[in-house]
A and B are shown apart, each in its own frame.
Chain A
Amino acid sequence: MNDQSMQADREHWDLVIKPKNSLFALNLKEVWRYKDLLLLFVKRDFVAQYKQTVLGPVWNLVQPILTTAIFLLLFGRIANIPTDGIDPIPFYLSGITIWNYFSVCLTNTSNTFVLNASIFGKVYFPRLVIPLSVVLSNIIRFGIQFFLLLIAIVFYHFFKGAPLYISFSWVLIIPVVGLMAGLGLGLGIIISSLTTKYRDFTVLMTFVIQLAMYVTPIAYPLSFLAATKYKNLISLNPMSPVVELFRYAVFGKGTFTTGSILYSVIFTVLSLFIGLVIFTKVEKSFMDTV
């Protein structure tokens, strides 16, 4: 063997483990190699949750129905807040459906390290697989709840004479869900990385996510605040334009501008980027602090 090939042989290593990664060491190729695992985690999440229940996935419908009933009572009948000319039940249901997806993505991804510490401590795979599987498995849940929303819309059309709004805007649902997933994932992995050492964030999360719903136009339309100074405050919430865009997609009514949508998109991309940077930094050694 001559010097050069020996040199080349010595330099070739499949894996070099060093104390620190470069700032942005995300290896998407590796995540792709583990796509089978990703799908199996999705299956596990979904199947295991409803083992030994009679109703199974039907449970996904109970929560939005009950929440809609409460909203109808509180915001509709007692507070008398208008619903943008949309029938109240489909209106609330649409908000709850999209909010549920976001909040479940956020809360479940934020537990990534703490909940899976026992697996992470024993074997290596790209840790990002877990939060991605959460986002994916909840799309199934979102689909079921969205189906409920469709039933409500069709019901109101045929029995109450509400106009049926079918247009190209329905295509917008896909980017809306994408934005929700991205925002939930981005914020979720930031929090999950922080909770590995300091559990304070877990405590914080439990109520912040509940409170956040009230500063997002879920139980009221953004147009209701149009004349007040609170409109700007609520608009600062990057979730607001997304929810309004979702309502526009489904009902053709929503309050947003190109600027506000752009704001949400930039916010999502930024949180995803920061999330991935922190996540790849933490995943290497979180077992020592978790």
Chain B
Amino acid sequence: MNTVIKVENLSKQYRLGEVSTGALSHDINRWWHKMRGKEDPYLRIGEDNDRTTKGESDYVWALKNVDFEVRQGEVMGIIGRNGAGKSTLLKILSRTTSPTKGELKIRGRVASLLEVGTGFHPELTGRDNVFLNGTIMGMTRKEIMQKFDAIVDFAGVERYIDTPVKRYSSGMYVRLAFAVAAHLEPEILIVDEVLAVGDAEFQKKCLGKMSEVSEKDGRTILFVSHNMTAVKNLCSTVMYMTNGSVHEIGPTNQVINSYLSHYVNSSLFQEYENSEEAPGNQFVSVKKIEIVPKLKNETDPITIDKDVDIEFEFWNKVNGATLNLSLGIYTIADEHVCQVVSNPAILPKGLCKSVCRIPANFLNDGIYKITILIVQDQSKVLFEFSDTVSFEMHESREASGWHGKWPGFVRPQFNFNLAKF
């Protein structure tokens, strides 16, 4: 099989902060170095892109020395935590931005689906938008005309096709937009997490269409997702990225397992020494967050029949502020399980502490991550501390007739009696 995408030493640097007079002086300095034939002074000082710690430099590497190849007909999944560089890589692949260093070579026509419905104009009819969106994605009018009926059929919006799309329900809008995308016929398709929209049935239809395209026509697909199920079903190879570099490339199951275990082990707690370097802002900053499972032995796995405490400490910087916490539990695929709020309290300046107990027999087995919001006056979010710590709930069933994965996010024990009538 031919190599259709070849990425060599690809790096991308971003400047943090606002564009202002500082940017102008850097620009002038950069130009001055260039005029004298010297290297760009800001390329040397970039740091790894770790958004949780405060860095020294205004420049970060969103991608650093990324190398990989994709062969024709391959469906490659790209996974990694938020900020690992997945989207930046897709942006460069789809030519919406350019790399700072390195090279990228492509064989064949590329269509990128970083969003569905790019360029949809609310005032235009469904028909006009199909043509507009299709041509933006690189089709010609003639190609669209040939596929028009199939597109409308796939979206199931025949009756509304001559109505402005601003009158569409959001579901119809997305279906029409995806229908156009699904009928693109590029050699290489780049898909970002666009499947997060639409109802479950439609998602299935889209995934089906994508795998059909790669199997039948030998098209290459790059697929970024947090949805491990979708990645498992669709991809033959997976690339796992951390901090802007390729951590691992390999067969799907192997890489996904390594991703999940890496994700879990590294993050049962986070702690910061002083409030200047901790994540936060002028109102609050985080000291510590820790998962404390109530286990008999420290080395036992966390099972679903154990209580789990989440301890959270933060510095309050505004004396007498009325604060409360709001804690979100998410699955590893970013599905929101629930949101729990604490009581509001009037707090003095200084260190504050809270404990939230997730009771036993509540969460199903699986990997969960915690997001904490610090809220003022029960209405204003002062700080969002997202994807902080994560933990894995293990199965506690020992003897049972069935060993499959228990479905659902939660596994409460309700009163549920069965007896002879």
Genuine A/B complex: yes
B101: chain A residues within 8 A (beta carbon): 19
Q: B362: CB under 8 A from chain A?
A: no
**Chain A: how many interface residues by the 8 Å CB criterion?**
35
Asked if B128 and A123 make an inter-chain contact with CB atoms under 8 angstroms apart, the answer reads no
Asked if A119 and B119 make an inter-chain contact with CB atoms under 8 angstroms apart, the answer reads yes
Pick from A47, A119, A198, A284: contact of B128, CB under 8 Å: A47
Given the known inter-chain contacts A47-B128, A123-B94, A198-B19, please indicate yes or no for A16 contacting B103, CB distance below 8 A. Answer: yes
Q: How far is the CA of A150 from the CA of B262 in the complex (A)?
A: 75
A125: chain B residues within 8 A (beta carbon): 136, 138
B83: chain A residues within 8 A (beta carbon): none
B98-121 near A? 1/0 per residue, CB < 8 Å: 111111111111101011001101
Q: How far is the CA of A262 from the CA of B259 in the complex (A)?
A: 67
Q: How far is the CA of A82 from the CA of B50 in the complex (A)?
A: 70
B132: chain A residues within 8 A (beta carbon): 37, 40-41, 44
Q: How far is the CA of A41 from the CA of B121 in the complex (A)?
A: 10
A37: chain B residues within 8 A (beta carbon): 132, 135-136
Using CB atoms, name the residue of chain B closest to A288: B97
B99: chain A residues within 8 A (beta carbon): 17-19
Q: How far is the CA of A212 from the CA of B115 in the complex (A)?
A: 41
Given the known inter-chain contacts A44-B132, A47-B123, A125-B136, please indicate yes or no for A288 contacting B118, CB distance below 8 A. Answer: no
Given the known inter-chain contacts A16-B105, A36-B135, A285-B98, please indicate yes or no for A123 contacting B23, CB distance below 8 A. Answer: no
Asked if B106 and A19 make an inter-chain contact with CB atoms under 8 angstroms apart, the answer reads no
Q: Determine the main DSSP class of A at the interface with B.
A: loop
Q: A12: CB under 8 A from chain B?
A: yes
Using CB atoms, name the residue of chain B closest to A51: B123
Pick from A13, A36, A122, A285: contact of B106, CB under 8 Å: A13
Pick from A19, A197, A288: contact of B102, CB under 8 Å: A19
Asked if A123 and B121 make an inter-chain contact with CB atoms under 8 angstroms apart, the answer reads no
Pick from B2, B98, B119, B138: contact of A17, CB under 8 Å: B98
Pick from A36, A48, A52, A198: contact of B121, CB under 8 Å: A48
Pick from A15, A119, A197: contact of B105, CB under 8 Å: A15
Q: A158: CB under 8 A from chain B?
A: no
Within the complex, what minimum Cβ distance (angstroms) separates B127 from chain A?
12
Within the complex, what minimum Cβ distance (angstroms) separates B18 from chain A?
11
Using CB atoms, name the residue of chain A closest to B21: A198
Q: A124: CB under 8 A from chain B?
A: yes
Q: How far is the CA of A133 from the CA of B137 in the complex (A)?
A: 17
Within the complex, what minimum Cβ distance (angstroms) separates A29 from chain B?
14
B128: chain A residues within 8 A (beta carbon): 40, 43-44, 47
Asked if B106 and A284 make an inter-chain contact with CB atoms under 8 angstroms apart, the answer reads no
Q: A120: CB under 8 A from chain B?
A: yes
Asked if A48 and B112 make an inter-chain contact with CB atoms under 8 angstroms apart, the answer reads no
A151-186 near B? 1/0 per residue, CB < 8 Å: 000000000000000000000000000000000000
B57-97 near A? 1/0 per residue, CB < 8 Å: 00000000000000000000000000000000001101111
Q: B14: CB under 8 A from chain A?
A: yes
Asked if A123 and B137 make an inter-chain contact with CB atoms under 8 angstroms apart, the answer reads yes
B98: chain A residues within 8 A (beta carbon): 17-20, 284-285
Q: B154: CB under 8 A from chain A?
A: no
Given the known inter-chain contacts A44-B132, A198-B24, A287-B91, please indicate yes or no for A14 contacting B140, CB distance below 8 A. Answer: no
* Residues in A2-38 with C-beta less than 8 Å from chain B: 9, 12-20, 34, 36-37
A257: chain B residues within 8 A (beta carbon): none
B23: chain A residues within 8 A (beta carbon): 197
Asked if A124 and B105 make an inter-chain contact with CB atoms under 8 angstroms apart, the answer reads no
Asked if A40 and B135 make an inter-chain contact with CB atoms under 8 angstroms apart, the answer reads yes
A275-290 near B? 1/0 per residue, CB < 8 Å: 0000000001101110
Q: A56: CB under 8 A from chain B?
A: no
B172: chain A residues within 8 A (beta carbon): none
Interface residues of B (CB under 8 A from A): 2, 6, 14-15, 19, 23-24, 27, 91-92, 94-110, 112, 114-115, 118-119, 121, 123-124, 128, 131-132, 135-138, 140-141, 164
- Which 5 pairs between the two chains have the least Cβ-Cβ distance? A124-B95, A37-B135, A284-B98, A17-B104, A13-B105
Residue pairs across A and B with Cβ atoms less than 8 A apart, 16 shown, are A9-B2, A13-B106, A15-B106, A18-B99, A20-B98, A34-B135, A47-B124, A47-B128, A51-B123, A51-B164, A121-B114, A124-B96, A124-B110, A125-B138, A284-B97, A287-B91
